[in-house]
Chains A and B, each alone.
Chain A
Amino acid sequence: MTPIAFAEKYGLKVVSQGAGDCRDIGGAYCSDLLSLVMGRAKADDALVTVMANINTIAVAVLADVSCVILCEDIHFDENCVKKAQDQEVCVLESSEPSFQVAIKLARELGLC
């Protein structure tokens, strides 16, 4: 399932489309510690986080995740959104906690 399809199915807001309609979510990684994300997220994972700063976008690009899902109604500022768009990073926003988003991802990934 692509990040955009996931957003449509579960009502998440698409803040930056990026490459979100042309690659699939291959797994998921939940963390707010970007150092851990760099070391442990896998390519194509959906990164589920509440860490909303410009480095989150840089980490998403370099770790090559399929999308960033920002939870708990937390938002990126304009500068971050612009960077995400420039770097073709798909960014989604959810009002739910990370755990709830993770459950939905697990369902779509056939993990539960």
Chain B
Amino acid sequence: MVSEEGLPISTLKWTYEVDGSDFTRAGEASSNVKKNLRKLGVSPEVIRKVSIALYEGEINMVIHADGGHIDVEVSPDKITMVLADTGKGIADIDKAMQEGWSTAPDEVRSLGFGAGMGLPNMKKYSDEMRIESTVGVGTTVYMTVYTGG
């Protein structure tokens, strides 16, 4: 059975706009997703993986891209997250994936971020991750966490 949008009836979809101007508000989307997944009875370990991966993505969007757009889709066997921004893009994705490599400003580092752990953490906590990025156009990160359901 499918809905009018063509999605399986058991698929839920949430979208969020990430405000790029306020670093202290980063995390609102991931907190909301966490709350919703808890209500759905998703296992704590899966919730933790999704929350951490998504939060790191939000932080990256605020630091590097002046915000962006997040789509989260929950289906019976997996949770997929698409984080799209129109920021400056990533020139060298392999380098950006290395722990400790960062272009974050000092101001962000003084708040405990910008240590070059964001993308590695996203990869660590998602089961699948893919990055599409064009310099000067933006970046889209696709992440999937399997629920085992």
List chain A positions with a Cβ less than 8 A from chain B.
32-39, 43, 51, 53-56, 58-59, 61-64, 87
| Count of A-B residue pairs with CB < 8 Å | 74
* B31 and A39 contacting across the interface, CB-CB below 8 Å: no
Select which of A37, A38, A43, A87 is within 8 A of B31 by beta carbon.
Answer: A87
In contact, A62 and B24 (Cβ under 8 angstroms): no
A35-B117, A43-B44, A59-B55 known, 15 other contacts, Cβ within 8 Å: A33-B115, A34-B111, A36-B117, A37-B112, A39-B52, A39-B124, A39-B125, A54-B24, A55-B111, A58-B30, A58-B55, A61-B31, A62-B27, A62-B48, A63-B48
Chain B residues with Cβ below 8 Å from A56 are: 112
Chain A residues, Cβ within 8 Å of B51:
61-64
**Secondary structure type dominating chain B contacts:** helix
Contact B111 A38 (CB under 8 A): no
Interface pair B30/A53, CB less than 8 Å apart = no
Contact, CB under 8 Å: B114 / A35: yes
Q: Are A51 and B120 in contact (CB under 8 A)?
A: no
Instruction: Give the Cβ gap from A37 to chain B, nearest Cβ, in Å.
Output: 8
Q: What are the residues of chain B within 8 A of A35 when measuring CB–CB?
A: 56, 112-118, 121
Question: B117: which A residues are within 8 A, CB to CB?
Answer: 33, 35-36, 38-39
20 contacts between A and B (CB under 8 A): A34-B111, A35-B112, A35-B121, A38-B55, A38-B56, A38-B117, A38-B121, A39-B52, A39-B120, A39-B121, A39-B124, A58-B27, A58-B30, A58-B31, A58-B55, A59-B55, A59-B112, A61-B31, A61-B51, A87-B31
